[in-house]
Amino acid sequence: METKLKIALQKSGRLYDDSVKILKECGIELQNGMNKLLNEAINFPMQILFLRDDDIPQYVEDGVADIGIVGENIVYETNKNVEIIEKLGFGKCRLSVAVPRNENYADAQFLNGKRIATTYPFLLQSFLDKNKVTAEIHEISGSVEITPGVGLADAICDLVSSGSTLFSNGLKETEVVLNSQAALIGNKDLSSEKQLLLKKLLFRIQAVKKAKKNKYILLNAPNDKLDIICSLIPGMKSPTILPLGIEGWSSLHSVVQEDDFWNIIESLKDNGAEGILIIPIEKMVL
Ligand code: ATP
Ligand code: ZN
């Protein structure tokens, strides 16, 4: 029987869409109309198990799934024996301590003797230990942000992305316990066939991630400024330079990184570049 790589994804929730999307961007199509819990890729030897995110590290540790996509927050909280293979750049959030807005919070010592509500008791306890704070941890399974308002806790430790939930509950963020994003995790004892499939998948994921960070750029440059313009957009090896139909001008094709994108565009314009086109890249293999 053909070896298949079993991947665990979140069944529904914040990571579902991006997890399915990254497989799709890797050219892996799922079957239509299969049940919601188990699917099979059409064009890659892969089975997909849809689970609650909290269960994914355990399934991967046990080898029920070979790999999985889950937030680092869950990986570190559950503390299972799995490997973090690759950060995926979505599902970004932070696990933070927050207190009522009117409190004077100077540092973690504020939390001494306080009641802190959280769904992340393990990570919170590690944070408290590191800061030599003794506090009462109230582990609850949801709606952590309302507990100070109803008198159940003095502080919370919860996931934050924009901070708007904290704000609307009269809370302010005071400490970041962990920065988190979705990650590909793997069982530590994969067969060599499965390792080979994982390598293939990882190669595709890295190509997709690189492509997202880069844009394809085309522009017209005056020939007397070619050297400086080429140095601004060196690309993967060097820019492609083609003669234009107009005397003294060339067309340049290259790749620029998203990070310093706007600065580069400004310098290009300052050096006489014209007709600048920026195009998204779908995959990028170096
Ligand atoms: P499940 O039913 O699978 O247990 P859940 O309710 O525990 O789902 P979601 O709210 O869907 O989980 O969040 C899944 C993951 O999304 C989180 O563990 C975290 O890694 C990430 N995430 C990103 N931003 C946020 C945010 N603002 N709040 C909560 N989780 C976030
Ligand atoms: Zn969950």
Tell me whether domains 93-180 and 214-280 share a fold. no
For residues 155 and 262, what is the distance between their CA atoms, to the nearest angstrom? 41
| Residue 178 to residue 147: CA distance in whole angstroms | 21
- Contact between 117 and 99 under an 8 Å Cβ cutoff? The reply is no
Using most ligand atoms within 8 A of CB, pick from 20, 93, 156, 166 the residue to mutate for ligand 1. 93
Q: What is the reported pTM?
A: 0.91
- Is the shortest distance between the CB of 68 and ligand 1 below 6 Å? no
CATH architecture assignment, domain 214-280 = 2-Layer Sandwich (3.30)
Residue extents of the structural domains in the chain? 5-91+181-211, 93-180, 214-280
Please, are residues 248 and 223 in contact by the beta-carbon 8 Å criterion? yes
Query: Does any ligand 1 atom lie closer than 6 A to the CB of residue 91?
Result: yes
Ligand nearest to the CA of 96: 1
* pLDDT tens track, the chain, 286 positions: 899 999 999 999 999 999 999 999 999 999 987 667 999 999 999 999 999 999 999 999 999 999 999 999 999 999 999 999 999 999 999 999 999 999 999 999 999 999 999 999 999 999 999 999 999 999 999 999 999 999 999 999 999 999 899 999 999 999 999 999 999 999 999 999 999 999 999 999 999 999 999 999 999 999 999 999 999 999 888 899 999 989 999 999 999 988 888 999 999 999 999 999 999 999 999 7
Please, what's the largest Cα pairwise distance for the chain? 77
Contacts of residue 142, Cβ cutoff 8 Å, sequence gap at least 6: 119
DSSP secondary structure letter of residue 83: E
Which CATH architecture does the domain made up of 5-91+181-211 adopt?
3-Layer(aba) Sandwich (3.40)
Contacts of 62 (CB under 8 A, 6+ apart): none
Please tell me the CATH code under which domain 93-180 is placed.
3.40.190.10
Question: C-alpha 130: how far from its chain's center?
Answer: 26
